[in-house]
Structure 1
Amino acid sequence: MGLLFKNLRIHQVFGANTDVGKTIITTALVRASATRDTPVFYLKPVSTGAPEDADDEHIHRHGGPRRLVTTRCLHRFSDPVSPHLAAARAHQAKVAEIPSDSTFTKTIANYIQECAGTSAAAHMYIETAGGVHSPTLSGTSQVDTYRPLFLPTILVGDSKLGGISTTISAYESLLLRGYIIDAVLLFGDEYYRNWEYLTPFFSERGVHISVVPPPPPRAADVQTNTAITDDYYTSVIPSDHRGPLSSLFEHLEHSHTRRLQELISMPKRALSSIWWPFVQHSHISPSDVTVIDSAYQDFFSTHKPATTSSSTTSQLKPEFDGSASWWTQAIGHAHPSLTLAAASASGRYGHVLFPQAIHSPALKLAEWLVHEGPGKGWASRAFFSDNGSTGMEVALKMALRKFTRTLPSNTQKNNKRIGVIGLKGNYHGDTIGAMDACEEGVYSSEWHDAKGFWFESPEIGIRDSLIQIDLPPAIAAAIGSNRIEAPSLSWIYDVAERLNTPLADVYRRHLRAALDKLHQDGRQFAALVLEPLLMGAGGMIFVDPLFQRILVDVVRETSVDGAQTSVIFDEVFVGLYRLGLQTTAPTLGVKPDISVHAKILTGGLVPLSITLASEQIFKSFLGSTKAEALLHGHSYTAHPIGCEVANQTIQIVEKLSQSEEWKIAREQWKPLNALEANIWSFWDPNFVNAISALSTVDSVMTLGSVLALKLDDAGGYVSHAAHDIFKTLKVNTEDEKSMTGAPGGLAYSVNFRTLGNVAYFMTSLNTPADTIRSLEDKIWDTLKTIPATR
Structure 2
Amino acid sequence: MASKTSSLWRALRSYQIYGANTDVGKTVMSTILCKALVSKSPSENVWYLKPVSTGPLSEADNRHISQFSPETRTHCLYQFDEAVSPHIAARSKPPLPDSDILQNVLQHLKSCAEAGPGVTLLETAGGVHSPTPSGTSQADLYRSLRLPICLVADHKLGGISASISAFESLHFEDSHYQNHAYLREYFEKKDIKTIAIPAPPKRNNNDSEDFEMMAEYYKNMSKHDAVEELLDRLTLKHEKRIENLEDMAGRAHKQIWYPFTQHKDVSEKTILTVDSAYGDFFQTRVREGKEENLLTPTFDGSASWWTQGLGHGNPDLSLAAAYAAGRYGHVMFAGAINEPSLLLAESLLGNMHNPRLQKVFYSDNGSTGMEVAAKMALAASSQRYKYNVAKGEVGILGLKGSYHGDTIGTMDCSEPCIYNEKVHWYQGRGYWFDFPEVKLKKGNWVVESPAGMEAALGSKSEYDSLNDIFDIEARNTSSTAKLYRKYIEATLERLVLQEGKTFGALIMEPVILGAGGMHFVDPLFQHTLVSVVRESSNIFSHGTSYPQSDPNAWTGLPVVFDEVFTGLYRLGRFSAASFVQTHPDISCHAKLLTGGLVPLCTTLASDSIYDAFLSSDKRDALLHGHSYTAHAVGCHVANTSLNVMMDLDQSGEWQPYKDDWGVGHTFESTQSESKSMPGKVEIPVWSSWSKDFIHKISMSKDVDSVIALGSVLAIALHDEHAGYTSSATTGLQERMLEGCTQFNIHSRVLGNVFYLMASQTSKPETLRDIEKLLSEALL
Scaled by the length of structure 1, the TM-score of the pair is 0.92
Q: Does residue 486 of the first structure (1) align with residue 463 of the second (2)? A: yes
Q: Which residue of the other structure, out of 125, 135, 157, is the alignment partner of 1:139?
A: 135
Structure 1: how far apart are the matches of 2:703 and 2:665?
23
Indicate if the aligned counterparts of 1:48 and 1:81 stay in contact, CA closer than 8 A.
yes
For the 8 Å contact 2:664–2:683, the answer to whether it is kept is no
Q: Which amino acid aligns with 1:109?
A: L
What letter matches 2:128 in structure 1?
V
Of the candidates 201, 213, 216, which is equivalent to residue 198 of structure 2? 213
- Percent identity of paired positions between Structure 1 and Structure 2: 44
Q: CA 1:534–1:413 in structure 2 vs 1: closer, same or farther (change >3 Å)?
A: closer
1:767 paired residue number: 762
Unaligned ranges ≥5, structure 2: 547-555, 668-681
The aligned residue for residue 175 of structure 1 is none
Residue identity matched to 2:580: L
C-alpha deviation, 1:83, in angstroms: 1.1
Offset of residue 368 of structure 1: 1.2
User: What SS does the corresponding residue of 2:447 show, helix, strand or coil?
Assistant: strand
Could you tell me how far 1:480 is from its partner in structure 2? Answer: 6.6
User: Residues 394 and 503 of structure 2 are in contact (CA less than 8 Å); yes or no, is this contact kept in structure 1?
Assistant: yes
Looking at structure 1, the residues matched to 348 and 717 of structure 2 have their Cα atoms a distance apart, in angstroms, of 38
Are the counterparts in 2 of residues 490 and 674 from structure 1 also a CA contact under 8 Å?
no
Is the 2:664–2:684 contact (alpha carbons within 8 Å) kept by the matching residues of 1?
no
**Structure 2 counterpart of 1:51, one-letter code:** L
Counterpart for residue 30 of structure 2: 26
Deviation at 1:475, TM superposition (A): 3.2
The equivalent position to 2:418 in structure 1, one of 399, 418, 442, is: 442
Question: Once the 2 structures are TM-superposed, how far is the Cα of residue 733 of structure 1 from its aligned partner?
Answer: 3.0
Pairing of 1:277-676 with structure 2 (within 5 A): 277-310=259-292, 314-370=293-349, 372-374=350-352, 376-408=354-386, 411-414=387-390, 417-444=393-420, 445-473=423-451, 475-478=453-456, 481=459, 483-520=460-497, 521-559=499-537, 560-561=540-541, 562=544, 564-670=556-662
How far is the alpha carbon of 1:416 from its aligned partner?
6.0
Deviation at 1:612, TM superposition (A): 0.3
The corresponding residue for 1:751 is: 746
| Shift in Å, 1:749 | 0.4
Is structure 2 residue 172 aligned with structure 1 residue 187? yes
Q: 1:529 to 1:211 in 2, by over 3 A?
A: same
SS at match of 2:226: coil
Q: Contact (CA 8 Å) 2:458, 2:480: kept in 1 or not?
A: no
Asked whether the 8 Å contact 1:528–1:565 carries over to 2, the reply is yes
1:4 pairs with 2:8:
yes
Q: Does 1:776 align with 2:771?
A: yes
AA paired with 2:731?
Answer: D
| Inter-partner Cα distance in structure 1 for 2:95 and 2:474 | 50
- Could you say which residue in structure 1 is the equivalent of 2:159? 163
What CA distance in whole angstroms lies between the structure 1 residues aligned with 2:666 and 2:733? 34
Measured in 2, the distance between the counterparts of 1:585 and 1:536 equals: 15
Contact residue 511 and residue 551 of structure 1 kept, 8 A: yes
Does residue 255 in structure 1 map to residue 237 in structure 2?
Answer: yes
Q: Is the 8 A contact 1:13 1:128 kept in 2?
A: yes
Question: What residue in structure 1 maps to residue 228 of structure 2?
Answer: 246
Amino acid at match of 1:452: G
Distance 1:80 1:478 in 2: 76
CA distance in 1 between counterparts of 2:152 and 2:458 reads 77
CA drift of 1:660 comes to 2.7
Kept in 2: contact 1:488–1:673 (CA 8 A) = no
* Whole-Å separation in 2 of the counterparts to 1:510 and 1:497: 20
Aligned to 1:787: none
* Paired AA for residue 344 in structure 1: Y
Q: Is the 8 A contact 2:511 2:522 kept in 1?
A: yes
SS of residue paired to 1:256: helix
Give the deviation of 1:732 after TM superposition: 4.1
| CA–CA separation in structure 1 for the residues paired with 2:316 and 2:391 | 48
Over 3 Å counting, the alpha-carbon distance change for 1:674 and 1:759 in structure 2 is: farther
Q: Secondary structure at the match of 2:229?
A: helix
Q: Which residue of 2 aligns with 1:711?
A: 717
Shift of 1:456: 0.8
RMSD: 1.6
Shift of 1:619: 0.2
Query: Does 1:54 pair with 2:49?
Result: no
- Structure 1 partner of 2:50: 44
The letter for the 2-side match of 1:729 is: M
Q: What are the within-5 Å matches in structure 2 for residues 122-137 of structure 1?
A: 122-137=118-133
Supply the distance in 2 between the matched residues of 1:3 and 1:472 (Cα, whole angstroms): 50
Partner in structure 2 of residue 82 of structure 1: 85
- Amino acid in structure 1 at the alignment position of 2:271: V
Corresponding residue for 1:177?
none
* Per-residue deviation, residues 333-354 of structure 1 (Å, max 9, x unmatched): 1100000100111000000010
State whether residues 456 and 484 of structure 2, in contact with CA within 8 Å, keep that contact through their aligned partners in structure 1: no
Deviations 1:87-106 (A, max 9, x none): 113x2xxxxx2321111111
| Contact 1:369–1:376 (Cα < 8 Å) also in 2 | no
Normalization by structure 2: what TM-score?
0.93
Q: Distance in 2 between matches of 1:232 and 1:727?
A: 57
**For residues 57-76 of structure 1, what are the structure 2 equivalents within 5 Å?**
57-63=63-69, 65-66=70-71, 69-76=72-79
- Following superposition, the deviation at residue 150 of structure 1 comes to 2.2
Cα deviation code 1:354-383 (max 9, x no counterpart) = 01100100000001111x122632111000
Deviation per CA, 1:214-267, whole angstroms, max 9, x where unpaired? 1111111111111111111222122xxx62211111100001000000000000
Cα pair 1:349 1:640 within 8 Å, conserved:
yes
1:742 equivalent in structure 2:
none
- Shift of the 732–211 alpha-carbon distance from structure 1 to 2, 3 Å rule, reads farther
Give 1:413 deviation, angstroms: 4.2
Task: Kindly indicate whether the alpha-carbon contact (under 8 Å) linking 2:736 and 2:745 is maintained by their aligned counterparts in 1.
Answer: yes
Match for residue 788 of structure 1?
none
Change (3 A) 1:672 1:476: farther
CA distance in 1, matches of 2:579, 2:207: 75
Q: Secondary structure at the match of 1:631?
A: coil
How far apart, in 1, do the equivalents of 2:225 and 2:366 lie?
Answer: 58
SS of 2:288's partner is: helix
> How far, CA to CA, are the matches of 1:213 and 1:156 in structure 2?
13
- Shift, 1:286, TM fit: 1.1
For residue 79 of structure 1, report the CA deviation from its aligned partner: 1.1
Q: Which runs of 4+ in 1 moved over 3 A?
A: 413-416, 478-481, 671-677
Report the alpha carbon displacement of residue 731 of structure 1 after superposing the two structures with TM. Answer: 1.2
- SS where residue 7 of structure 2 aligns? coil
Q: How many residues align?
A: 741
**Equivalent residues in 2 for 1:710-749, closer than 5 Å:** 710-716=716-722, 717-734=724-741, 747-749=742-744
